[in-house]
Amino acid sequence: MHPDHGHKRDEILEALWTMAEDQLQTRADLAARVESTRLDEIVAEMAAEGEVAEDGDKIVLTESSRERAAQIIRRHRLAERLFSDLFGLEEQSWEASACTFEHILDEKVTQSVCSFLGHPPVCPHGKPIPPGPCCNGERKPIEPLVIPLKEMKIGQRGRIVFITPRTKRRLSRLASYGVIPGSELTLSQRFPSYIIRIDQTDVALETEIAKEIFVRVERG
Ligand SMILES: [Zn+2]
Ligand SMILES: [Zn+2]
């Protein structure tokens, strides 16, 4: 195999998977999704090794490459969920990272990420995430485990996982009230300000700050 072809092959498998979702299967459709001056050469190489099947103008995944493509798509879409749900990032800032992540995540990390996110059935674009061994065939939609404090319900309990304050001063002020990663809290009021109870003490928070505190919530 040409040394540069491995990454391109993954990209081709991924493109063939998404093309199938969109009911597309021609060589031109593939060329529209994968940029490479060597596309024909790589596809021929893959066909020779049984990774793709060609039939006239059509190119499709084979039995053996379908599984590999599913894994790449799974990692990509889980990474998308991670960036958008957990870090609250806008799409333009994470699309490139999701593409990098899909090549870095190994199977164990992928399963941890999937479990952490509650085995999400779809990506932020609404496309299905192929299930892994951790999903156990049960694709129940589960709400994310970690959410901004702002989205907690009254009476809900949880533990602070991380805080993303805009200023250091704000962080130390929060710390002086016991609002630090690891602290357990209960949300007791949402309006006019957020009130959380930490260690028998009520702490009032502005909405801006409630957005910056991420809590792993208990689900009853
Ligand atoms: Zn997506
Ligand atoms: Zn899973």
Higher-confidence residue of 107 and 46: namely: 46
Distance CA 52, CA 177 (A): 59
Residue 111 CA, ligand 2 centroid: distance in Å: 6
Closest CA to 9 of 56, 58, 62: 62
| Environment class of 73 (CB within 10 Å of its CB; exposed 0-12, middle 13-18, buried 19+) | buried
Residue 110 CA, ligand 1 centroid: distance in Å: 16
Tell me the domains of the chain and their CATH numbers: 5-61 (1.10.10), 66-135 (1.10.10.10), 146-217 (2.30.30.90)
Helix axes 63-81, 107-116, angle to 10 degrees: 50
pTM of the model: 0.63
Residue-wise pLDDT tens digits, 6-44: 789 999 999 999 999 999 999 999 999 999 999 999 999
DSSP E strand boundaries for 94-164: 146-148, 157-163
Residue 119 CA, ligand 2 centroid: distance in Å: 4
Task: Identify the H or E element spanning 60.
Answer: strand 58-61
Q: How many CB atoms lie within 10 A of CB 160?
A: 22
